[in-house]
Amino acid sequence: MLALDSSSARIEIQCLLQQVLHVSRVHLLGHPDRFLQDFEQPRYNELLRRRLAGEPIAYIFGEREFFGLKFKVTPATLIPRPETELLVDLALARIPPREPCRVLDLGAGSGALALSIAHARAGVDVTAVDASQDALEVARENALRLGIGNVRLLSSDWFSGLAGEHFDLIVSNPPYIAATDAHLEQGDLRFEPRTALASGTDGLDDIRRIIAQAKAHLNPGGWLLFEHGYDQAVAVREILREAGFGEVFSARDLAGIERVSGGRN
Ligand code: GLN
Protein backbone atom coordinates (compact mmCIF):
# COMPACT_ATOMS: atom_id res chain seq x y z
CA MET A 1 0.00 0.00 0.00
CA LEU A 2 1.12 3.53 -0.66
CA ALA A 3 1.87 5.51 2.48
CA LEU A 4 3.86 8.51 3.65
CA ASP A 5 6.77 7.99 5.99
CA SER A 6 5.26 8.22 9.48
CA SER A 7 8.07 10.49 10.75
CA SER A 8 7.28 13.19 8.18
CA ALA A 9 3.62 12.55 7.23
CA ARG A 10 2.19 15.35 9.38
CA ILE A 11 4.52 18.05 8.06
CA GLU A 12 4.11 16.87 4.48
CA ILE A 13 0.31 17.02 4.70
CA GLN A 14 0.57 20.49 6.25
CA CYS A 15 2.79 21.56 3.31
CA LEU A 16 0.27 20.22 0.80
CA LEU A 17 -2.56 22.04 2.58
CA GLN A 18 -0.59 25.29 2.62
CA GLN A 19 -0.10 24.96 -1.13
CA VAL A 20 -3.81 24.29 -1.79
CA LEU A 21 -5.07 27.01 0.53
CA HIS A 22 -2.34 29.55 -0.31
CA VAL A 23 -1.76 30.23 3.38
CA SER A 24 1.25 30.50 5.66
CA ARG A 25 2.19 27.80 8.12
CA VAL A 26 1.20 30.06 11.01
CA HIS A 27 -2.23 30.61 9.46
CA LEU A 28 -2.74 26.89 8.84
CA LEU A 29 -1.85 25.92 12.41
CA GLY A 30 -3.98 28.76 13.76
CA HIS A 31 -7.13 27.44 12.03
CA PRO A 32 -7.35 23.72 12.87
CA ASP A 33 -11.16 23.84 12.46
CA ARG A 34 -11.01 24.86 8.80
CA PHE A 35 -12.47 22.34 6.30
CA LEU A 36 -11.47 22.08 2.68
CA GLN A 37 -14.13 23.65 0.46
CA ASP A 38 -15.59 21.61 -2.40
CA PHE A 39 -13.55 23.54 -4.96
CA GLU A 40 -10.31 22.94 -3.01
CA GLN A 41 -10.73 19.21 -2.54
CA PRO A 42 -9.81 18.03 -6.08
CA ARG A 43 -6.56 20.01 -6.04
CA TYR A 44 -5.64 18.56 -2.63
CA ASN A 45 -6.48 15.03 -3.83
CA GLU A 46 -4.25 15.51 -6.87
CA LEU A 47 -1.25 16.75 -4.83
CA LEU A 48 -1.70 13.94 -2.30
CA ARG A 49 -1.90 11.37 -5.11
CA ARG A 50 1.40 12.64 -6.55
CA ARG A 51 3.10 12.61 -3.16
CA LEU A 52 1.83 9.09 -2.41
CA ALA A 53 3.35 8.01 -5.74
CA GLY A 54 6.69 9.15 -4.31
CA GLU A 55 7.14 12.40 -6.24
CA PRO A 56 9.40 14.77 -4.26
CA ILE A 57 7.63 17.67 -2.52
CA ALA A 58 10.05 20.07 -4.24
CA TYR A 59 8.91 18.94 -7.71
CA ILE A 60 5.23 19.02 -6.71
CA PHE A 61 5.61 22.63 -5.56
CA GLY A 62 8.13 23.49 -8.27
CA GLU A 63 10.48 25.18 -5.83
CA ARG A 64 12.93 24.71 -2.98
CA GLU A 65 14.66 27.16 -0.66
CA PHE A 66 18.46 27.21 -0.62
CA PHE A 67 20.77 29.66 1.14
CA GLY A 68 17.76 31.86 1.93
CA LEU A 69 16.66 32.13 -1.72
CA LYS A 70 13.73 30.47 -3.49
CA PHE A 71 14.76 28.37 -6.48
CA LYS A 72 12.50 27.01 -9.17
CA VAL A 73 13.21 23.29 -9.62
CA THR A 74 11.95 20.83 -12.22
CA PRO A 75 12.69 17.15 -12.88
CA ALA A 76 15.51 18.45 -15.15
CA THR A 77 17.39 19.70 -12.08
CA LEU A 78 18.67 18.20 -8.87
CA ILE A 79 16.79 19.37 -5.77
CA PRO A 80 19.22 21.60 -3.81
CA ARG A 81 20.18 20.03 -0.46
CA PRO A 82 20.86 21.87 2.81
CA GLU A 83 24.34 20.29 3.14
CA THR A 84 25.38 22.01 -0.10
CA GLU A 85 25.12 25.35 1.74
CA LEU A 86 28.46 24.42 3.32
CA LEU A 87 30.03 24.71 -0.13
CA VAL A 88 28.59 28.23 -0.53
CA ASP A 89 30.01 29.25 2.87
CA LEU A 90 33.46 27.90 1.99
CA ALA A 91 33.36 29.63 -1.41
CA LEU A 92 32.30 33.01 0.02
CA ALA A 93 35.12 32.81 2.58
CA ARG A 94 37.61 32.61 -0.31
CA ILE A 95 36.28 35.59 -2.27
CA PRO A 96 38.20 38.76 -1.45
CA PRO A 97 35.79 41.59 -0.55
CA ARG A 98 36.89 44.30 -2.96
CA GLU A 99 39.02 42.70 -5.67
CA PRO A 100 37.72 41.43 -9.01
CA CYS A 101 36.99 37.72 -8.84
CA ARG A 102 35.87 35.20 -11.44
CA VAL A 103 33.92 32.23 -10.15
CA LEU A 104 32.90 29.12 -12.11
CA ASP A 105 30.13 26.67 -11.11
CA LEU A 106 30.41 23.34 -12.93
CA GLY A 107 27.06 21.56 -13.35
CA ALA A 108 24.88 24.41 -12.17
CA GLY A 109 21.53 22.58 -12.29
CA SER A 110 18.92 24.96 -10.91
CA GLY A 111 21.71 27.47 -10.28
CA ALA A 112 21.62 27.00 -6.51
CA LEU A 113 25.38 27.38 -6.01
CA ALA A 114 26.15 29.95 -8.72
CA LEU A 115 23.21 32.21 -7.93
CA SER A 116 23.70 32.06 -4.15
CA ILE A 117 27.32 33.15 -4.59
CA ALA A 118 26.43 35.85 -7.13
CA HIS A 119 23.64 37.13 -4.88
CA ALA A 120 25.90 37.33 -1.83
CA ARG A 121 28.74 39.05 -3.75
CA ALA A 122 27.41 41.52 -6.30
CA GLY A 123 30.92 42.45 -7.45
CA VAL A 124 31.88 38.93 -8.47
CA ASP A 125 31.66 37.59 -12.05
CA VAL A 126 30.04 34.17 -11.95
CA THR A 127 29.98 31.71 -14.84
CA ALA A 128 27.58 28.77 -14.49
CA VAL A 129 27.77 25.86 -16.90
CA ASP A 130 25.69 22.75 -17.40
CA ALA A 131 25.54 20.10 -20.11
CA SER A 132 21.72 20.02 -19.90
CA GLN A 133 19.83 22.68 -21.86
CA ASP A 134 16.73 22.06 -19.75
CA ALA A 135 18.67 22.70 -16.55
CA LEU A 136 20.19 25.88 -18.02
CA GLU A 137 16.68 27.14 -18.80
CA VAL A 138 15.70 26.66 -15.15
CA ALA A 139 18.88 28.40 -13.95
CA ARG A 140 18.18 31.29 -16.37
CA GLU A 141 14.67 31.67 -15.01
CA ASN A 142 15.99 31.62 -11.44
CA ALA A 143 18.53 34.36 -12.26
CA LEU A 144 15.69 36.47 -13.69
CA ARG A 145 13.27 35.82 -10.81
CA LEU A 146 15.94 36.63 -8.24
CA GLY A 147 17.12 39.70 -10.16
CA ILE A 148 20.70 38.46 -10.34
CA GLY A 149 22.68 40.03 -13.17
CA ASN A 150 26.28 39.00 -12.45
CA VAL A 151 25.89 35.44 -13.75
CA ARG A 152 26.72 34.17 -17.24
CA LEU A 153 25.06 30.86 -18.17
CA LEU A 154 26.79 28.61 -20.68
CA SER A 155 26.18 25.22 -22.20
CA SER A 156 29.30 23.17 -21.46
CA ASP A 157 30.14 19.60 -20.52
CA TRP A 158 32.46 20.39 -17.61
CA PHE A 159 35.23 22.49 -19.23
CA SER A 160 34.43 21.68 -22.89
CA GLY A 161 33.01 25.14 -23.64
CA LEU A 162 35.57 27.08 -21.58
CA ALA A 163 38.73 26.88 -23.70
CA GLY A 164 41.23 29.57 -22.69
CA GLU A 165 39.16 30.79 -19.72
CA HIS A 166 40.59 31.22 -16.24
CA PHE A 167 38.93 31.58 -12.85
CA ASP A 168 39.89 32.44 -9.28
CA LEU A 169 37.47 29.93 -7.78
CA ILE A 170 35.83 26.83 -9.22
CA VAL A 171 32.94 25.20 -7.34
CA SER A 172 30.93 22.11 -8.16
CA ASN A 173 28.36 19.78 -6.72
CA PRO A 174 28.96 17.03 -9.29
CA PRO A 175 27.30 13.63 -9.53
CA TYR A 176 29.13 11.37 -7.06
CA ILE A 177 26.97 8.34 -6.32
CA ALA A 178 28.16 4.90 -7.46
CA ALA A 179 25.99 3.80 -10.39
CA THR A 180 25.03 0.58 -8.56
CA ASP A 181 24.21 2.27 -5.21
CA ALA A 182 20.79 1.11 -3.97
CA HIS A 183 19.98 4.66 -2.77
CA LEU A 184 19.35 5.64 -6.39
CA GLU A 185 16.19 3.53 -6.24
CA GLN A 186 14.94 5.14 -3.02
CA GLY A 187 13.05 8.30 -2.05
CA ASP A 188 13.50 11.55 -3.98
CA LEU A 189 16.53 10.21 -5.88
CA ARG A 190 14.28 8.01 -8.05
CA PHE A 191 12.78 11.15 -9.58
CA GLU A 192 15.92 13.25 -9.99
CA PRO A 193 18.05 13.30 -13.17
CA ARG A 194 20.37 10.29 -13.07
CA THR A 195 23.10 12.31 -14.82
CA ALA A 196 23.11 14.74 -11.87
CA LEU A 197 23.52 11.90 -9.34
CA ALA A 198 25.50 8.90 -10.57
CA SER A 199 29.09 8.77 -11.76
CA GLY A 200 30.67 5.45 -12.65
CA THR A 201 31.38 2.36 -10.57
CA ASP A 202 32.87 4.18 -7.54
CA GLY A 203 31.00 7.46 -8.01
CA LEU A 204 34.25 9.34 -8.64
CA ASP A 205 34.40 9.45 -12.46
CA ASP A 206 33.26 13.07 -12.76
CA ILE A 207 35.27 14.26 -9.77
CA ARG A 208 38.41 12.73 -11.35
CA ARG A 209 37.62 14.47 -14.63
CA ILE A 210 37.03 17.82 -12.91
CA ILE A 211 40.22 17.63 -10.84
CA ALA A 212 42.29 16.61 -13.88
CA GLN A 213 41.11 19.59 -15.92
CA ALA A 214 40.64 22.27 -13.26
CA LYS A 215 44.25 23.41 -12.91
CA ALA A 216 44.42 24.54 -16.52
CA HIS A 217 41.47 26.87 -15.79
CA LEU A 218 42.57 28.29 -12.44
CA ASN A 219 44.51 31.48 -11.93
CA PRO A 220 47.60 31.20 -9.68
CA GLY A 221 46.39 30.80 -6.09
CA GLY A 222 42.87 29.90 -7.28
CA TRP A 223 40.74 27.35 -5.42
CA LEU A 224 38.83 24.27 -6.52
CA LEU A 225 36.04 23.31 -4.06
CA PHE A 226 33.51 20.55 -4.56
CA GLU A 227 30.98 18.40 -2.74
CA HIS A 228 31.31 14.61 -2.57
CA GLY A 229 29.87 11.51 -0.92
CA TYR A 230 30.04 10.71 2.80
CA ASP A 231 32.83 8.14 2.33
CA GLN A 232 34.88 9.80 -0.44
CA ALA A 233 36.93 12.44 1.43
CA VAL A 234 40.11 10.38 1.79
CA ALA A 235 40.04 9.35 -1.87
CA VAL A 236 39.38 12.85 -3.23
CA ARG A 237 42.13 14.43 -1.09
CA GLU A 238 44.51 11.88 -2.59
CA ILE A 239 43.38 12.68 -6.15
CA LEU A 240 43.74 16.42 -5.45
CA ARG A 241 47.32 15.99 -4.13
CA GLU A 242 48.30 13.76 -7.03
CA ALA A 243 47.04 16.42 -9.43
CA GLY A 244 49.38 18.93 -7.75
CA PHE A 245 46.90 20.90 -5.64
CA GLY A 246 48.15 22.51 -2.42
CA GLU A 247 46.40 23.33 0.88
CA VAL A 248 44.19 20.28 0.32
CA PHE A 249 41.43 20.04 2.94
CA SER A 250 38.01 18.60 3.70
CA ALA A 251 35.19 20.27 5.66
CA ARG A 252 32.41 18.67 7.69
CA ASP A 253 28.71 19.38 7.23
CA LEU A 254 26.29 19.90 10.13
CA ALA A 255 25.94 16.12 10.47
CA GLY A 256 29.70 15.90 11.07
CA ILE A 257 30.37 14.25 7.69
CA GLU A 258 33.32 15.30 5.52
CA ARG A 259 31.22 16.62 2.67
CA VAL A 260 33.29 19.21 0.78
CA SER A 261 36.96 19.04 -0.22
CA GLY A 262 39.22 21.39 -2.06
CA GLY A 263 42.69 22.50 -2.94
CA ARG A 264 44.62 25.47 -4.18
CA ASN A 265 46.48 25.99 -7.42
N1 GLN B 1 24.70 22.81 -8.45
C2 GLN B 1 23.39 22.28 -8.29
C3 GLN B 1 23.11 22.01 -6.81
O4 GLN B 1 23.99 22.03 -6.00
C5 GLN B 1 23.17 21.02 -9.11
C6 GLN B 1 24.13 19.89 -8.76
C7 GLN B 1 23.86 18.64 -9.57
O8 GLN B 1 22.97 18.59 -10.41
N9 GLN B 1 24.64 17.61 -9.31
O10 GLN B 1 21.99 21.80 -6.41
Structural domain tally of the chain?
2
Helices (H), 100-174: 112-120, 133-146
Looking at residue 152, what is its pLDDT? 98
Looking at residue 157, what is its pLDDT? 97
CA of 100 to the centre of ligand 1 (A): 25
**Quick check: CB of 173 below 6 Å from ligand 1?**
yes
Verify that 112 and 229 share a domain, yes or no: yes
Domain assignment of residue 42, yes or no: yes
Which of 85, 173, 177, 194 to mutate to test ligand 1, by most ligand atoms within 8 A of the CB atom?
173
Verify that 16 and 99 share a domain, yes or no: no
Verify that 119 and 211 share a domain, yes or no: yes
Verify that 98 and 34 share a domain, yes or no: no
Verify that 167 and 232 share a domain, yes or no: yes
3-state secondary structure of 146: helix
Domain assignment of residue 238, yes or no: yes
Domain assignment of residue 61, yes or no: no
Domain assignment of residue 103, yes or no: yes
Verify that 21 and 94 share a domain, yes or no: no
Taking residue 118's Cβ as centre, other Cβ atoms within 10 Å add up to: 25
Query: What does pTM read for this prediction?
Result: 0.94
What residue's CA is closest to ligand 1, atom 8?
196
Verify that 131 and 233 share a domain, yes or no: yes
CA of 27 to the centre of ligand 1 (A): 33
Looking at residue 251, what is its pLDDT? 98
Verify that 96 and 28 share a domain, yes or no: no
Verify that 89 and 33 share a domain, yes or no: no
Residues in the chain predicted with pLDDT less than 70, given as ranges, are 1-2
The one-character DSSP state at 177 is: B
Looking at residue 4, what is its pLDDT? 86
**Quick check: CB of 229 below 6 Å from ligand 1?**
no
Domain assignment of residue 208, yes or no: yes
Verify that 92 and 173 share a domain, yes or no: yes
Domain that holds residue 260: 76-264
**Quick check: CB of 107 below 6 Å from ligand 1?**
yes
Q: Is 123 left (phi over 0), alpha (psi -120 to 50) or beta?
A: alpha
Verify that 126 and 211 share a domain, yes or no: yes
Looking at residue 225, what is its pLDDT? 98
Domain assignment of residue 95, yes or no: yes
Looking at residue 7, what is its pLDDT? 87
CATH number at residue 228: 3.40.50.150
Looking at residue 56, what is its pLDDT? 95
Secondary structure (DSSP) of 187-241:
GGGGGS-GGGTB-STTS-HHHHHHHHHHGGGEEEEEEEEEE--TT-HHHHHHHHH
Domain assignment of residue 71, yes or no: no
Verify that 49 and 123 share a domain, yes or no: no
Looking at residue 261, what is its pLDDT? 98
Domain assignment of residue 63, yes or no: no
Looking at residue 97, what is its pLDDT? 86
CA of 117 to the centre of ligand 1 (A): 14
